[in-house]
C-alpha cells in the first residue's frame, strides 16, 4: 500500500484542492511512483490499465507543469478510442478545476470538426486526441506542436494493436526539439520497447509488483449491474443472505456519503467512515459497527485501514478498486479469525477491463454471480417467517390458539388455509416499512405521543406484539396506550404517550426484546 499523501508530493494548492473536491484521499501506487518522476522531467513508462488511477498519474504532473501564460499546445495525450479520450479529458478538467486560464481540448472522430476548430483557435495548452483525428488537424495546420513539451501515449499497447504505430510516429515527427515522453501500457511488448528505444531517453519503468493472494475462506464474486442499480443490489444481497454486518467500499468520500443516504432512505442502519472524520468520530462509528448498532458500514480505502472486526459477513466493492492492492486490502476485512466470508464486486462497461487487470495482477478469478431477483427476496422473507413459526411451534403453549383456529375451520376453510392466511398477513405487515423511501415523521400531529427509537428490527425477528408485551410487562403501562409501531430491518420506532416516555426509556434500556439487549432513545 502507498505511504504518502498527495500533499507530500509537492503539489500546488489548486491541484490539491481539486483532488480533495473529487474525493480522493491519497495516491494509488502507480500515482505515487509516477507523479514525482514526471515532474522531474523524466521519460516514464507505467505498466497500468484503466481503473488503476493512471489518468491522474500523468494528469496531475502534466497540469502542474503547464505554463498558463502561454496559449500554445504544450502537452498532447493520445488515446486509442474516442471513449477514452472523452474520459481522460473529463478527468483533466476536474484536476484543473481551480487552475486559472488552463484549457483542455479533445479532438476525436465522430464529432463535427468545426467545433474542434473553434476550440483550438481560442487557444489550449493540452490536447487529448485519437491518432486519426489528431493527424487530420496536423495536416490542416489547425494543430501546431512546435511548442510541445510533453507527449503521453495512453494505453499504448491498444493503439499498436489497432494499427496506429505509423500514426504515432507521424505525430511525433511534428515535434520541434526534445520532448518529454510518457507512456502507459498494460503490457510491455517488443513493439512498445521499440518505441521506447526510438523516442524515449533513459525511460524509467514503473511496475507495481503484485503477489498472489490466498483467501480460500473468502468466496469472491463479480456481479454485472448498471451503476444505477448497485444500491438495490446491496440491499437484495443483504436481505436474501440475511447478512448481519456488511462493509461497502467506495473510491471517493463523496460517494460514501451519497450511498449512505440512499441506504438510510431504504430503512437500513448504516454509517460512513472516510478521511473527513476526526479520530474521535472514527472511533465512535467503529464502536457502533462492532456492537452491531449499524449493520452496513460505507468506507473509503484509506479510512478503512486498521478495521479489525471479526464477524464481517460480506464486503461489497461498490466501485472497482483503483489499485490491485486495494482489492486485496478490501476483501481481507471479511473471513477473519478462521471464519468464512464473502466479497462481491460490482462492474459494468469499461470497468470490466479494470477488474480483469486486478484479477491478472492478483492471480485470481472471480466467479460470476447474478443479482437476486425480487422473487428471491420475497422467498427469503417468507422463509424467515416460516422459521419464526417453527420456533413458536417448538416452544409450545398453543392450546388457546388451536381452539380459535379449529373454531374458524367451520367447513368453509381448512386449518391449512387459515395458517396460510395468517402467514401471508404476517409477511405483508413486516414488508410495509421496507417499502417506505423515507424515515417516518418523528412528531405526532396532536403532540400527545412521542416516537422512541429501538435498536432492534426485522433482522432480530421482532414483531409488534414483542414490543407491546415487553414494554407493558416491564414498565406496567397498559398495552393499549402504545401507539403505532414501525419495524425496519435494523431498528424500530414505537409511539409512546408523552407522560410515559421517561419511564419507558429508563426501564427498557436495561432490558431485552427477543434476547437482544435494547437501546432506547427519543427519535
* SS3 call for 186: coil
Q: Tell me the backbone φ, ψ of residue 181, rounded to 5 degrees.
A: -115, 130
**Are 218-372 and 449-522 the same fold in CATH?**
no
CATH for 449-522 (2.40.50.140, 3.30.70.330, 3.40.50.720, 3.40.1160.10):
3.30.70.330
Q: Tell me the backbone φ, ψ of residue 296, rounded to 5 degrees.
A: -135, 120
Domain 218-372: CATH superfamily, name plus number: P-loop containing nucleotide triphosphate hydrolases (3.40.50.300)
Domain ranges for the chain, please list them. Answer: 6-206, 218-372, 375-431, 449-522
Q: Phi-psi category of 396—alpha, beta or left, where left has phi over 0 and alpha has psi -120 to 50? A: left
C-alpha cell at 329: 486490502
CATH for 6-206 (1.10.10.60, 3.40.50.2300, 3.40.50.300, 1.25.40.80):
3.40.50.300
Contacts of 509 (CB under 8 A, 6+ apart): 518, 519, 520
The predicted pLDDT at position 93 comes to 94
- pLDDT less than 70: residues of the chain: 1-3, 49-52, 208-216, 303-306, 308, 337-338, 380-385, 387-388, 391, 393, 395, 411, 423, 426-447
Beta bridge partners of 107: 129
E strands, 67-185, in order: 75-78, 104-107, 126-129, 150-154, 180-185
Amino acid at each position: 500500500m502507498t505511504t504518502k499523501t498527495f500533499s507530500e508530493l509537492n503539489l500546488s494548492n489548486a491541484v490539491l484542492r481539486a483532488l480533495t473536491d473529487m474525493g480522493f484521499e491519497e495516491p494509488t501506487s502507480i500515482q505515487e511512483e509516477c507523479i514525482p518522476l514526471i515532474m522531474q522531467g523524466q521519460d516514464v513508462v507505467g505498466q497500468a490499465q484503466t481503473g488503476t488511477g493512471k489518468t491522474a498519474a500523468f494528469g496531475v504532473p502534466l497540469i502542474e507543469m503547464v505554463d498558463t501564460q502561454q496559449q500554445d499546445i504544450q502537452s498532447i495525450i493520445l488515446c486509442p478510442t474516442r471513449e477514452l479520450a472523452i474520459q481522460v479529458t473529463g478527468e483533466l478538467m476536474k484536476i484543473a478545476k481551480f487552475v486559472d486560464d488552463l484549457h483542455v481540448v479533445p479532438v476525436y472522430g465522430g464529432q463535427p470538426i468545426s467545433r474542434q476548430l473553434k476550440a483550438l483557435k481560442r487557444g489550449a495548452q493540452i490536447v487529448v486526441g485519437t491518432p486519426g483525428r489528431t493527424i487530420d488537424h496536423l495536416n490542416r495546420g489547425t494543430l501546431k506542436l512546435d511548442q510541445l513539451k510533453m507527449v503521453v501515449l495512453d494505453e499504448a499497447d491498444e493503439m499498436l494493436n489497432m494499427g496506429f504505430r505509423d500514426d504515432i510516429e507521424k505525430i511525433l515527427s511534428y515535434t520541434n526539439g526534445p520532448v518529454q515522453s510518457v507512456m502507459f501500457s498494460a503490457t510491455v511488448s517488443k513493439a512498445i520497447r521499440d518505441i521506447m528505444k526510438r523516442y524515449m531517453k533513459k525511460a524509467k519503468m514503473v511496475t507495481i509488483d503484485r503477489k498472489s493472494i490466498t483467501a480460500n475462506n473468502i468466496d469472491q464474486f463479480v456481479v454485472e449491474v448498471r451503476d444505477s442499480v448497485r444500491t438495490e443490489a446491496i440491499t437484495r444481497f443483504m436481505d436474501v443472505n440475511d447478512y448481519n454486518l456488511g462493509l461497502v467500499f467506495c473510491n471517493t468520500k463523496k460517494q460514501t456519503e451519497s450511498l449512505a443516504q440512499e441506504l438510510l432512505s431504504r430503512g437500513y442502519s448504516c454509517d460512513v467512515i472516510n478521511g473527513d472524520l476526526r479520530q474521535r468520530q472514527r472511533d465512535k462509528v467503529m464502536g457502533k459497527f462492532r456492537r452491531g448498532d449499524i449493520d452496513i458500514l460505507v468506507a473509503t480505502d484509506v479510512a478503512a485501514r486498521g478495521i479489525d472486526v471479526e464477524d464481517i459477513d460480506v464486503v461489497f466493492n461498490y466501485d472497482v478498486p483503483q489499485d490491485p492492492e486495494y482489492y486485496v486490502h478490501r476483501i481481507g476485512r471479511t473471513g477473519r479469525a478462521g471464519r468464512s466470508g464473502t466479497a462481491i464486486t460490482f462492474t459494468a462497461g469499461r470497468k470490466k477491463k479494470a477488474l480483469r487487470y486486478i484479477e491478472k495482477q492478483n492471480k485470481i478469478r472471480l466467479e460470476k454471480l447474478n443479482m437476486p431477483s425480487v422473487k428471491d427476496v420475497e422467498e427469503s422473507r417468507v422463509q424467515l417467517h416460516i422459521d419464526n413459526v417453527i420456533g413458536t411451534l417448538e416452544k409450545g403453549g398453543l392450546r388457546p390458539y388451536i381452539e380459535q383456529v379449529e373454531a374458524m375451520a367451520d367447513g368453509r376453510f381448512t386449518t391449512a388455509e387459515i395458517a396460510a392466511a395468517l402467514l401471508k398477513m404476517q409477511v405483508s405487515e413486516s414488508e410495509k416499512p421496507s417499502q417506505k423511501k423515507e424515515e417516518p415523521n418523528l412528531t405526532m400531529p396532536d403532540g400527545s405521543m412521542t416516537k422512541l427509537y429501538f435498536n432492534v428490527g426485522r433482522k432480530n425477528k421482532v414483531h409488534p406484539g414483542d414490543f407491546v408485551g415487553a414494554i407493558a410487562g416491564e414498565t406496567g403501562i397498559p398495552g393499549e396506550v402504545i401507539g403505532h409501531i414501525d419495524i425496519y430491518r435494523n431498528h424500530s420506532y414505537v409511539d409512546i404517550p408523552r407522560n410515559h416516555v421517561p419511564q419507558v426509556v429508563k426501564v427498557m434500556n436495561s432490558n431485552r426484546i427477543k434476547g437482544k439487549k435494547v437501546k432506547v432513545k427519543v427519535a
